[in-house]
Amino acid sequence: MTKLEVVARAAEDQQHEMDGEGVCLHGEKVFTGADDGKVKVWDHHNLKLIQEFQAHDYAVTDLLVMGDTLFTCSSDATIKSWDANTCQAKNPAVGAHEEAVRKMTSNGTSLFAGDENGDIKEYGADGSSKAVYNLVEEVWGLLVVGDVLYSVRDRGVTISQLKGKSNMMAVMAHVEGRAPLVIAGDNLVCPNMAGMNLIVRENITPFKVRGELKGHEMIITAAAGHGQRVASTGYDNLVRLWDLSATKELASCELPGCANALAFSEDGCIFATGTGGYVCKLKAT
């Protein structure tokens, strides 16, 4: 029987002063961003604070590592880049959006950022502007695999093939769902419109439903994938670990509060941040 438990937590006097909004990993480091505009760097093993810096004057809404570069985006409508090893600024203004930037993702070669104005902007690894895709409605969820863009607007998931030029894309499908959006193995996973169950689909046209994961009693706020496993959490303050191959729940664990972001490490551990700025590490055994 699988057991999921919190194995480390950031000390209260070191955690963020406001709600945590994003988490990502780079080697032995865990990066978290929060509404206080700060990025904190933690030891992957014990969540001891390594360093921190003021990334933005306003909330850090998401963060992402590409190669040795850490990108941060904010409600101040900017994206910045930092050396992931030293945390020194690389490009203080990668991109400027008209509205708050909500989500970032990468296909390995480009950075994509979606904002509240409905614009998804594509940048090179060096921060250079490459293309803009106007989606009209604000971006709540965003993934890109190769040249396939997955975007979540107010309602529904739109899957499009990018053509390499601004506003040049072909819609492949539109399916039921809402943020958060996860690709795990050959599965596309997102909550249903009610927000409390996860729909598991084949990640190939026509994106047929494989099953539905039921367990959360309140709306899901964050999810992450690792192989054939997905972790999800919501306003019920529980992390639930799911086996997609069997379409079943493996284990659950209570969190210190509602989590706004989850991330898997390469060794399968789960990191969470959320209400009140807490950061914790969970492990399945």
Read off the pLDDT of residues 81-98 as tens digits, 9 standing for 90 and up: 999 999 999 876 677 788
pLDDT digits (tens, 9 = 90+) for 234-264: 999 999 999 999 999 999 999 999 999 999 9
Name the amino acid, one letter, at 194.
Answer: A
Determine the pLDDT at residue 92. 64
Determine the pLDDT at residue 242. 98
Q: Would you tell me how many other CB atoms lie within 10 Å of the CB of residue 175?
A: 17
Q: Give the Cα separation of 139 and 151 in Å (integer).
A: 7
Give me the chain's average pLDDT, please: 94
Domain ranges in the chain?
4-284
Q: Give the Cα separation of 151 and 161 in Å (integer).
A: 11
> What average pLDDT does the segment 46-70 reach?
96
Which of 2.130.10.10, 3.40.190.80, 1.10.3730.10, 3.30.460.80 would CATH assign to domain 4-284?
2.130.10.10
> What average pLDDT does the segment 51-79 reach?
95
Determine the pLDDT at residue 127. 83
Q: Give the Cα separation of 171 and 197 in Å (integer).
A: 26
> What average pLDDT does the segment 196-222 reach?
96
Please give the structure tokens belonging to residue 123: 């940048």
Torsion on CA atoms 189, 28, 238, 248, rounded to nearest 10: 40
pLDDT at residue 197 greater than cutoff 70: yes
